[in-house]
Each structure stands twice: as C-alpha cells, then as structure tokens.
Amino acid sequence: MTLALALRATPVAASPVTGSVVAAKRVYASARVTSWQAVTPASGAALAWLTGRCAGVVKNGRLPRRGSRSVSTRLHATKPEVAFVIGGPGSGKGTQCELVVSELGFQHLSAGELLRQERSRKGSPLAEEIEEAMKAAKPVPSEVIAKLLEQAMREAGAWAEGPAARFVVDGYPRSAEQLRGYQTELSQKVQLLCCISLEVDREEMRRRLLGRAQSSGRVDDEEEVIEKRLNTFQADTDPLLAFFKAEGLLKEVNGNQAPEQVFQEVRACLEVEADA
C-alpha cells in the first residue's frame, strides 16, 4: 500500500488538521518502506509533520528505497536530543548528570560553566557580551546563553550524520527569561526529551548545603545566603515548572532519596522519552 493510500485508509479525528497529523503519525510508526512510494498529503499539516519527523527523508513527495539510509537514522542525524535537569541548590543535579553521562551515554553541559569558559576565550564576540553584562551588573542576555549551548553542542558533534547526539543540561533554564532565550534561539534546533525536576524538601536542601559548607568553604553555603538562594530558586523556577508541565515535558523525581535511588527514577524518565 502506498503511503498516500495508507493516509486515506487511516481513520482520523474530525479536525482536518489534527486528524491528518494523527494519520501521519500512525503511518510513520508502522510503515516499512520497500520501494519509492508517492506521498499525497491528506493536508498541509500532515505533510508538514512527516517532513519534520523524517528530517529531510521525504523529497519531492517520495520516500527512499530500503537500501538507502533508514528513516530513523536520517531522523537521528537532524536534531540532538536534550534533557534539562532542574533542581534547587543542594538537590544533587551534578551527581545525577554525572550518572546520566556514565550510565546512559549523554554528554553533560552546564550553562554556568560554559559562561565561565567563554568569558576567558580571547576574541570571542560572545565573551564581549558576557563581560559587558557583568561589568554593568546585569544578567547575561538569555540569547547569549542559548547560543553558548548551541556552540557547545556543535563542538561535541551535534547535527552531524549518524545517531543523534544526546545532551543533559544542568540547571537550565533558570528563569522565565532564560526560557524565552531557549525558545528563541534553540528550541527549533533540538529535540527536547523532557525537563527533569529534582524535588527535594527545603529542609533537606538546607541540611545538605550546611553539611557541604563544613568542607567546601563556599561563601554561598553560609546559612543566611542559603535561605536567599532557596527563596530565589523557588520564585524563578515555579513558572518554568508550570510551563513544562503544560507542555507535557515535566518529569518530577523524588530527590530526597539516596543518589542511586534518585537515578533509577531519572533513568526511567530518559529511557521512556528516548523510546517515544
């Protein structure tokens, strides 16, 4: 059966746009391409969905022979897969990201670390923007942070032929403004798997940070500063969590557990989304 016939034969919802997309998704999930097949779009929305999903495989209304690259391989070559990990100070973001890297093969990116590295890079236009913002005691523009993430992904091999590069991004976005920068600069270039929120009780985060202060010597681990950091985190993050929840991308993980138990939940989130 040609893909065009399959689209016509697939029952869909009443909406001409939604129904066509549903039909296209069903065909994409079940089709086994054995020869060049004509694609007659049930609607512009269906073809748009297929074109984006197949990432350039649909050309001139036709699909390639089985002997060429598979649809899934070409799809993987287009967009890197990204997972955000959000959590308050002392929630264990760094530990979980390290486990995601070692156990699941992701690459770890930290927006804060990228800012520090870029600031010291001579001749970088982004470094100049970062320096100007810091001298003026202003936040670094959200677009700059998103561009740094894209730059780091490209340097790590994203958007290249072959299996999709996979990144876990630590502590990003931190605010509604950073979310806006991500949506403007990066959201259309990556496949966002999910946003993992490490849910840790306020008292537990305080306990962990005070314990760390005994050996870290960090100024931001002092009790008065800790309280301010916790308040700021909650105020900045609540709108983000609401946004990702509304998008169906939020995965809440119980971060009060031991790191190994937390990781089992994190692993389940990422494996489910990667297979979706």
Q: How far apart are CA 131 and CA 140, in angstroms?
A: 9
Query: 42 or 216: which carries more pLDDT confidence?
Result: 216
pLDDT at 275 over 90: no
State the pLDDT at residue 217: 66
pLDDT at 65 over 60: no
Query: Which residue ranges make up each domain of the chain?
Result: 3-76, 81-275
Q: What's the pTM value of the predicted model, to 2 decimals?
A: 0.68
What are all long-range contacts of 5-9, with beta carbons under 8 Å and residues at least 24 apart?
A: 6/31, 7/40, 7/41, 7/42, 7/46, 8/42
What phi-psi label fits residue 90: left (phi over 0), alpha (psi between -120 and 50 degrees) or beta? left
* SS3 of residue 199 by DSSP: strand
- Mean pLDDT, residues 38-60: 37
Q: How far apart are CA 52 and CA 78, in angstroms?
A: 10
State the pLDDT at residue 188: 95
Query: 199 CB contacts (<8 Å, ≥6 apart)?
Result: 87, 252, 253, 254, 255, 256
Phi first, then psi: give them for residue 243, nearest 5 degrees. -65, -50
Q: Which CATH code, of 3.40.50.300, 3.40.1160.10, 3.40.50.620, 2.60.120.340, is assigned to 81-275?
A: 3.40.50.300
Which two structure tokens, joined as six digits, stand for 128?
Answer: 């100049």
- Mean pLDDT, residues 132-144: 86
Q: How far is CA 214 from the centre of its chain?
A: 34
Q: For 159-184, what is each residue's pLDDT tens digit?
A: 988 889 999 999 899 999 999 999 99
- Single-letter amino acid, residue 264: Q
At which residue do the structure tokens 């009060």 appear? Answer: 256
pLDDT at 248 over 50: yes
